[in-house]
Structure 1
Amino acid sequence: MFYRPEDGHGLPENPFNAIVTPRPIAWISTRGPDGSQNLAPYSFFNAVAYTPPQVMFATTGRKHDRDGTKDTLANIRNTGVFAVNVVEYAMREAMNLTSGTWDRDVDEAELAGIDRAECETIDCPRAAGAPATLECRLTQIVELPGPANQVAFGEVTGIHQRDDCLRNGRFDVTLYQPLTRLGYRDFARITEMFEMKRPGE
C-alpha cells in the first residue's frame, strides 16, 4: 500500500503513528510563573546531541485555556526551564493519567500520586521516583508547518539517576524497564538488551 498523507490513507487509524516506533517518552514537569505545576508525557522526544547534552520534544496540539499551545510549552516559554523524567513500566498508569486534557489549574502529579522533588540546577519540580531526570534549560522553540506544531530544544544542565538503576558503573535500562510508545494506544517495555560493537572498535 502507498498513500500520500495529503490525500489520506483510508484506514481506520493513522498508520504514521505506528511506523516510527518505539519512541521514548518524556514525562515533562514544569512550573508556571504563578507557581502552578504541570506534568505531562510526550512521545515525540529524543536526545539530539552529546556535547553539551541536548534533548528535544514536540508538542502537536493546543488547549482551550492556553494561547495556541499546551500547558507544558506555555510554562517553558515563561520560565525557560523544564525537567524530563524517564518513565518506567511500573509508572505506566500514572503516566497515562497525566496525559489527559486537564484544565491549567489541575496539578497532574498530585492527581496521579507522584511525589515531587526540586531540581538542582533549575527552578522546576521533578518526579522524585523516576529512574532518571534530565534538568533542562530551553535553547530554542521551532515552529513547524501545521497548526500548533512546535519543537522545544533544551540543554541538559543536571542529571539525576536512581541508585537502583546503576549496575557495574552503567545506567542499566533492564533494571527498571523503560516504557515506550508504539502507536495508536499501544505501548511496550524494554526487558532485555544486547551489545554490538561498531566496526573498528
Structure 2
Amino acid sequence: MHYDSETKGLPHNPLKALVAPRPIGWISAMNRAGEVNLAPYSYFNAVASGPDMVMFSSSGRKDAMTFAEEGGEFVCNFATYALREAVNATSAPLPRGQSEFDFAGLTPVPSRNVRPPRVGESPAAIECKWVQTVPLTPLGGGGANHFLVIGQVVSIYIDDAFIVDGVVDTGAMRPILRAGAFDYFTAEPETRFSLERPAGGGGR
C-alpha cells in the first residue's frame, strides 16, 4: 500500500512505527515562579556534540516547553522499563500547579547545574540550558503547531551501578523506546553488539 496524509488508509500514522523505536525524553522543567513540570516526549534525541545538544518536540506550547523557555533550563530524565507506569502517568494533562512528581509517586532530586529537579528513581539525567525554540512551520503555510526545543548539555548524572569499565551500560538500564500506536520496546543487555567503523568513519 501507499500511505499519505491525504488518502490515509491506516488507523494510525505509520511514520511513528517506521521511525522507531524512538528514545523518550522525560523532561522536567521549572518556570520563573518555581513551578515544576514533568512530561514524556517521544520526539527526542541528541542532535550535536562539541558542544553536546539535545532536542525535544512539543505538539502545541505545552508546559515543558514554556517552562524551559521561562526558566532557561530543563532536564532529560532516562525513561526505563521499571519506571514505565510512572512515565506514562506523567503524560496526564494535570492542571498547572499540580505536581506530576507527586501524581506519579516520584522523588524530585536537586540537579547539579540547573534549577529543575531530576527524577530520583531514574538511573540517568541530562541537565540542559535552553538554547532556542524553533517553530515547525508546514509547507502549506499557516501557524506552527509543533515546536522544536533545543538545549545544550551542561551536566550528566549517571548511577554508578551502570558504569562498567568506564562505559555506560545502556542495556542494563532497560530504556523504554516508543513505537507506533500504543506500542513500546525495551532494550536488553544481551542484545548489545559492537562494530568498528571503517577508517576515517568517525570515532565513538
Shared fold, TM over 0.5: yes
- Gaps (5+ residues) in structure 1? 62-68
C-alpha distance in structure 2 between counterparts of 1:114 and 1:157, whole Å: 24
Q: How does 1:44-193 map to 2 (within 5 A)?
A: 44-61=43-60, 69-146=61-138, 147-191=144-188, 192-193=191-192
Q: TM-score, normalised by structure 1?
A: 0.92
- Gaps (5+ residues) in structure 2? 139-143
| Cα contact 1:164–1:175 (8 A) shared by 2 | no
**SS in structure 2 of the partner of residue 183 of structure 1:** coil
Please report the RMSD computed on the Cα atoms of aligned residues, expressed in angstroms.
Answer: 1.3
CA-CA distance at 1:200 after TM superposition: 2.5
| Cα contact 2:12–2:180 (8 A) shared by 1 | no
Q: TM-score, normalised by structure 2?
A: 0.90
Q: Which residue of 1 aligns with 2:11?
A: 12
| 1:194 and 2:204 aligned | no
> What's the CA shift string for 1:2-53, capped at 9, x where partnerless?
1332x13122222122111010000000112222111100010000111011
> What's the CA shift string for 1:143-169, capped at 9, x where partnerless?
002542000100000110011111111
> What's the CA shift string for 1:108-164, capped at 9, x where partnerless?
011111111111111111111212111000111100025420001000001100111
After TM superposition, the structure 1 stretch with the greater mean CA deviation from structure 2, 79-88 or 8-17, is 8-17
> What's the CA shift string for 1:175-195, capped at 9, x where partnerless?
211110011100010002110
**In percent, how many aligned pairs have the same letter?**
37
**SS in structure 1 of the partner of residue 8 of structure 2:** coil
After TM superposition, the structure 1 stretch with the greater mean CA deviation from structure 2, 144-153 or 112-121, is 144-153
Matched residue type, 1:13: H
Runs of 4+ in 1 over 3 A off after TM superposition: none
C-alpha distance in structure 2 between counterparts of 1:8 and 1:154, whole Å: 37
Aligned length: 193
Matched residue type, 2:45: N
